[in-house]
Amino acid sequence: MVGGTLLEVKNLSIRYETEDGAVQALNDVDIRIGVGETLGIVGETGAGKTTLAKGIMRLIPTPPGKIVSGEVLYGGRNLLSLSLKEMQEIRGQHISMIFQDPMTCLDPVYTIGNQIIEALKVHEDLSKQAYNQRAAELLRLVGFPDVESRLQNYPHQLSGGQRQRVMIAIALACRPSLLIADEPTTALDVTVQAQIIELLKKLQSELGTAIFLITHDLGVVAEMADRVVVMYAGQVVEQADVKSLFSQPEHPYTQALLQSIPRLETDRNERLQTIKGSVPSLTDLPTGCRFHPRCPFASEKCRIEEPPIFAAGENHMSKCWLKDPKIAKQEWIPINQTTDEEMASVYEETYPMQDKQEVLLAATNIKKYFPITKGIFSRTIGQVRAVDGVSLHIYPGETHGLVGESGCGKSTVGRLLMNLLHLTEGEVTFSGQDLRKMKHQPLKKFRQRTQMVFQDPYSSLNPRMMIADIIGEPLEVHGIANGQEKYKRIAELLETVGLSRNDIQKFPHQFSGGQRQRIGIARALATEPDLLICDEAVSALDVSVQAQILNLLKDLQRKMGLSYFFISHDLNVVKYISDRISVMYLGEIVEVAESETLFRKPLHPYSQALISAVPVPDPDEKRERMILEGEVPSPSNPPEGCKFHTRCPLAMDVCKQIKPELKEADPEHLVSCHLY
């Protein structure tokens, strides 16, 4: 049960001094967290969510950071006025933090047992035996089996979900009253994410711990939070209880965030709602309301004068002039009018999908085994079966989605289809030609017709090259354009992906994440390809930018007849963009079906578990989850029979002995399961 106020933040402002000037990362933030409450903090990248958490923990690096003003009250004490020694007693014992990436937070040279005990030693003086007992208890608490042996493991010996559980165990070591969780499930698969969500709920009910949950996943917020705070450009723009916020969002920014999420029920023929523009630079903030350059309801008053916080209902507040009772709504004249083109809700079919008798790319029983070597002579002692007999095909103008947990072999399949890795076995054909037989000029032509869009647009763009050179390079390599014709083509490509031709002389660091991904797409389109392989192409983006990129990909497909092979672990996104979907587990395809069919009637237990684990951005919708027990087996030593039988709740004796074939259970619906 939620009790009285546990922690209160008043007028907190944090500034960073940089070479480009002062960055006001937080500006007069007011929030409170009740005893045993879960408070969700949402907003785009750069909103100030993590800065707020670090400010509460007094972890702002000084310099360049500085807490300019405000109070953080915990138990009647202002944490900002405590000495460093006093603050160290608070951290871990009263307030703990779970960071986003457990692999960078856990020390690779110490066992997880030592790292849990280290957190205990800071605050408690116990015997060696008592420390080991407490560490074992904590691992049991977060759901580890066989804890005695696990205490001796190193971080690299654990899966991503297990490492996150260790981080939670360390944070809970001294049973703190408040747990700050900074994107605790963002890097995890939906199945592992479901386990972590259930774990946090269980721990909260048992220990009465309050949770300060930072995330950009509104489905996780809807499921876990009691109240929600929405942040934008360093300010709080809306606060409300979770049901009020999702059923009746008051601030235009909150409304836009909720509308931009692809959901399982979203019509694939409808365009996603987007927020135009991007989050302003904190070194050059707009006057008046900080959201007004992107707001469809902005008026002249919004441009000039910053709004205060208005009451929008019981325990519901919004920082928007629309909530001012003194302003007559009939006198409200928006300055950011939305065009008819932007309001178009349904895609126009300009380039229909081709006849399904024709196949653009086909993979037949492809395998990729990586050798496990040992010793100075690199003696092979085993193999990692990354891809173990995958068959699939892609039609012209089709989007074929590929989903599955991390480590199942999705990206390896993408690289095999691009001929970036050599096949161990099997065959890949493109327009009827065998890739293994392609040499020199035919292979160069294949590279022109097939391009890849990577997950991280920043690491895939050369930071030392201008946009003109980045996009122009493939034009020159493939002899498509040179000289003035090349620059004309680059300008056209930039405009095709929604950027300005004036951006041609800029460098990648001068663009936002979404704009950099657009540049990556423009570079891929430069060779006029038939097929784009998108490997987690929107996973690193905010939901608002993600919606822009998904709309762009669909527009380009309809205008140019492109085919996509879309790899992702985000099932909402895959369902929205894909015509057909293949589900992959431990190097094998276990189910193939049309997008709507797969989500309406998944046949394989693994597909059912994946779909049931997807967080739904609706606090009133309670779904029954199919939680998978155990971890994904090692691809170097996969189980006999059906590879999924070790985790399958419906496994039979035959599953342990005989591998099921991928066969048609319904028309155009293939499944690899003994139940069918």
What average pLDDT does this structure show over 382-403? Answer: 93
Please report which residue ranges of 321-452 form alpha helices under DSSP H: 340-343, 410-417, 441-449
The pLDDT, as a whole number, for residue 530 is 92
Q: Region 574-592: what's the mean pLDDT?
A: 94
Strand 531-535's sheet: what is its strand order?
A: 450-453, 531-535, 563-567, 399-403, 580-585, 588-594, 669-671, 663-666
**Which two structure tokens, joined as six digits, stand for 321?**
């002039």
Task: Render pLDDT for 300-321 as a digit per residue (tens, 0 to 9).
Answer: 889 999 999 998 888 899 999 9
pLDDT in tens, 491-541: 988 888 878 888 888 888 877 667 788 888 888 888 889 999 998 888 767
**Average pLDDT along the chain:** 86
pLDDT of residue 252: 93
Q: How far is CA 513 from the centre of its chain?
A: 13
Structure confidence at residue 161 as a pLDDT band (50, 70, 90): low
Residue 346 has a pLDDT of: 53
pLDDT greater than 90 at residue 575: yes
pLDDT-derived band of residue 150, with 50, 70 and 90 as boundaries?
A: confident
Number of Cβ within 10 Å of residue 649's Cβ equals 11
Question: Torsion angle of alpha carbons 651, 654, 655, 658, nearest 10°?
Answer: 180
Give the mean model confidence (pLDDT) for residues 232-261: 92
Cα–Cα distance, 44 to 458 (Å, whole number): 18
Question: Average pLDDT, stretch 165-170?
Answer: 84
- In tens, the pLDDT along 329-357 reads 555 666 665 544 444 445 555 555 545 56
**Using CA of residue 472, residue 475, residue 481, residue 485, what is the dihedral sign?**
negative
Residue with tokens 């003086």: 125
Q: What confidence tier does 579 reach under pLDDT thresholds 50, 70, 90?
A: very high
Question: Region 170-183: what's the mean pLDDT?
Answer: 87
Q: Where are the beta strands (DSSP E) in 333-453?
A: 361-374, 379-394, 399-403, 425-430, 433-434, 450-453
pLDDT at res. 329: 58
Contact 644, 588 (CB under 8 A): no
CA torsion 662→664→665→669, rounded to 10°? 100
pLDDT value at 582 more than 50: yes
pLDDT beyond 50 at 34? yes
- Does position 1 have pLDDT exceeding 50, yes or no? no
In this predicted structure, the answer to whether residue 2 has a pLDDT above a threshold of 70 is: no
55-104 residue pLDDT tens: 999 998 888 889 999 999 998 899 999 998 889 888 888 899 888 767 77
pLDDT of residue 328: 58
